[in-house]
């Protein structure tokens, strides 16, 4: 166990290592994150609709979590899990360590990367398979890809500044 003692002069002592001063470091911590993007949203947005008016986001949720008649097909959660390390690497390479800010450019790289990962996961998902009648109706044996393929094409991202 390492105990720390904070001295009145702003010194921090932990074992044999000491650090004094810290005004610049305190400023970095105080300013960290300021001026960056507010949010990065990635997924299927409410504005995306099938030709009959059905919200694509509803279909995505039904497939992601399952319903009484639709088995769970968690393509988006799979993409989130499988792409996590890649996203962290993009952040590590792209973030200014002094400002600790996700810039719009960095958020754009993150969004584009994860959009592609989600689309790939949708295309690659094969289980549980569609029933034969569904395959005939939609023209694809891929559970999440059909004739119009709006589910896959509706994956997008928004950088909120």
Mean pLDDT value across residues 112-118: 94
Counting residues of the chain whose pLDDT is more than 90, the rounded percentage is 32
Q: What angle do CA 31, 35, 40 make, to 5 degrees?
A: 120
Does pLDDT of 4 surpass 70?
no
Look at the chain and report how many structural domains it folds into. 1
Report the candidate in 112, 44, 48, 126 with the shortest Cα–Cα distance to residue 83.
112
Give the whole-angstrom CA distance, residue 154 versus residue 44: 6
pLDDT per residue as tens digits for the range 36-86: 888 888 999 989 988 889 898 998 999 999 999 889 999 999 999 999 999
- DSSP strand pairing (4-6 vs 39-44): unpaired
Structure tokens at 100: 């600790």
Instruction: Determine, yes or no, domain membership for 64.
Output: yes
- In the numeric block, the tokens 């949708």 are attached to 122
Instruction: Determine, yes or no, domain membership for 93.
Output: yes
Instruction: Determine, yes or no, domain membership for 18.
Output: no
Q: What is the reported pLDDT for 22?
A: 62
**Residue 72 and residue 144 in contact, taking contact as beta carbons nearer than 8 Å:** no
Mean pLDDT value across residues 97-126: 89
Instruction: Determine, yes or no, domain membership for 83.
Output: yes
Burial 109-120 (b: 16+ CB within 10 A, else e): bbbebbbebbbb
Instruction: Determine, yes or no, domain membership for 119.
Output: yes
Q: What is the reported pLDDT for 136?
A: 86
Instruction: Determine, yes or no, domain membership for 23.
Output: no
Instruction: Determine, yes or no, domain membership for 50.
Output: yes
Q: What is the reported pLDDT for 1?
A: 41
Residue 55 backbone dihedrals phi, psi, to 5 degrees: -65, 125
Instruction: Determine, yes or no, domain membership for 101.
Output: yes
Q: What is the reported pLDDT for 3?
A: 42
Name, of 1-5, 28-32, 82-86, the range with top average pLDDT.
Answer: 82-86
**Residue 142 and residue 113 in contact, taking contact as beta carbons nearer than 8 Å:** no
- DSSP strand pairing (4-6 vs 12-14): antiparallel
Does pLDDT of 157 surpass 70?
yes
Query: Could you tell me which residue, 130 or 90, shows the higher pLDDT?
Result: 90
Query: Which pTM does this prediction carry?
Result: 0.74
Confidence of residue 8 (pLDDT cuts 50, 70, 90): very low
Domain region containing 79: 39-160
């Amino acid at each position: 166990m390492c105990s720390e003692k904070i001295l009145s002069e702003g010194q921090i002592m932990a074992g044999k290592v000491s650090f004094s001063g810290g005004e610049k470091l305190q400023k970095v911590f105080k300013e960290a994150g300021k001026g960056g993007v507010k949010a990065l949203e990635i997924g299927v947005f409410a504005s995306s609709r099938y030709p009959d008016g059905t919200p694509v986001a509803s279909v995505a949720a039904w497939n992601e979590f399952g319903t009484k008649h639709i088995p769970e097909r968690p393509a988006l959660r799979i993409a989130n899990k499988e792409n996590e390390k890649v996203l962290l690497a993009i952040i590590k390479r792209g973030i200014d360590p002094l400002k600790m800010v996700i810039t719009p450019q960095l958020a754009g790289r993150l969004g584009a990367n994860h959009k592609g990962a989600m689309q790939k996961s949708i295309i690659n998902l094969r289980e549980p398979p569609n029933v034969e009648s569904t395959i005939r109706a939609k023209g694809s044996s891929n559970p999440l890809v059909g004739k119009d393929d709006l589910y896959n094409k509706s994956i997008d991202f928004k950088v909120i500044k």
